């Protein structure tokens, strides 16, 4: 974000420099001597809103040292901040294909989209629900965390909240991005979960994809529970059917993501400079 703001500031300075000696490009207001500071303030938002980015970040490394990647695309200054996580349970990997397909398509320029295709690469590699330490990452987040199971059991919640590096990466990203919409993919219940997220957008996603809705339990220590605790009802789970996502399903999910991304509320979690 800092790098982007620096780039935007440089772009504004360049535009200002050009405007002093020749007509300003792109229909921006031309400078007149004596009104320079006012014109600078007017030109800056225009320059910022036109900058679209595609940044790839390594959030960190899994227990077995696989990179956990996040890709930011769109307008980094848009208040529509959307986080999509393709996989958190390693034996439920179908959402990874949706995340990757989304990164290969054109997204609406008015959204600030963060995509984590795979938060649990060790689990995907091994075909296990948990990470390489046998912890269910979706019981390891610091909201209503409680001990569940014994080490090695299916829903083992870890020794304490955020005991796992993959969960810590996601928690850091959540606190940094402050998403106004969160989409987390699971398998294989074949429903959109309407238990605690943004109800209208959940229903819309279900209608767009043809998935039924169902209220699933709010599990202790879940990523979505943590996200909704931090930012209000913004995040929900999509339970894909078993197996791989077909091409037709892929198209429906991409359409649904774009559809609700452009309708995501913008009133939550404003950053200080956006609230001004
Ligand atoms: Zn799951």
What is the 225 CA–ligand 1 centroid distance (Å)?
13
pLDDT band at 267 (very low <50, low <70, confident <90, very high): low
Distances (CA, A) of 206 to 55, 110, 193, 198, 272: 30, 23, 9, 12, 34
Domain ranges of the chain: 2-49, 53-266
SS3 call for 183: strand
What is the 89 CA–ligand 1 centroid distance (Å)?
5
What is the 195 CA–ligand 1 centroid distance (Å)?
15
* 53-266, CATH topology level: Aminopeptidase (3.40.630)
Give this prediction's pTM: 0.80
What is the 69 CA–ligand 1 centroid distance (Å)?
19
pLDDT, one tens digit per residue, over 164-206 is 999 999 999 999 999 999 999 999 999 999 999 999 999 999 9
Residue 97 and residue 184: Cα distance in Å, rounded?
A: 13
What is the 186 CA–ligand 1 centroid distance (Å)?
4
Please name which of 232, 238, 229, 236 lies closest in space to residue 141, comparing C-alpha atoms: 229
Element (H, E) at 164: none
pLDDT band at 241 (very low <50, low <70, confident <90, very high): very high
Q: What are phi and psi of 85, to 5 degrees?
A: -115, 115
What mean pLDDT is reported for the chain? Answer: 84
What is the 7 CA–ligand 1 centroid distance (Å)?
39
């Amino acid at each position: 974000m800092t790098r982007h703001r620096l780039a935007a500031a440089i772009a504004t300075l360049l535009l200002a420099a050009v405007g002093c000696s020749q007509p300003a490009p792109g229909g921006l207001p031309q400078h007149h001597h004596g009104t320079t500071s006012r014109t600078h303030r007017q030109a800056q938002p225009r320059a910022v809103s036109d900058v679209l980015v595609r940044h790839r970040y390594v959030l960190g490394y899994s227990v077995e040292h696989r990179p956990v990647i996040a890709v930011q695309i769109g307008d980094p200054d848009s208040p529509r901040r959307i986080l999509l996580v393709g996989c958190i349970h390693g034996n439920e990997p179908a959402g990874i294909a949706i995340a990757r397909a989304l990164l290969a398509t054109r997204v609406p320029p008015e959204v600030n989209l963060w995509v984590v295709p795979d938060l649990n690469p060790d689990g995907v590699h091994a075909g296990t629900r948990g990470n390489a330490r046998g912890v269910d990452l979706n019981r390891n987040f610091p909201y209503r965390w409680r001990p569940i199971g014994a080490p090695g059991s299916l829903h083992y919640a870890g020794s304490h909240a955020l005991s796992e590096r993959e969960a810590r990466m996601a928690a850091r990203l959540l606190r940094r991005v402050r998403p106004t919409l969160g989409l987390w993919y699971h398998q294989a219940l074949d429903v959109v979960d309407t238990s605690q997220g943004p109800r209208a957008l959940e229903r819309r996603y279900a209608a767009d994809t043809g998935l039924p809705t169902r209220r699933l339990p709010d599990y202790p220590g879940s990523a979505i529970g943590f996200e909704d605790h931090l930012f209000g009802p913004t995040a929900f789970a999509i339970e894909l059917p078993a197996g791989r996502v077909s091409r037709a399903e892929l198209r429906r999910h991409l359409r649904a993501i774009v559809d609700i991304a452009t309708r995501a509320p913008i009133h939550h979690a404003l950053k200080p400079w956006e609230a001004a």
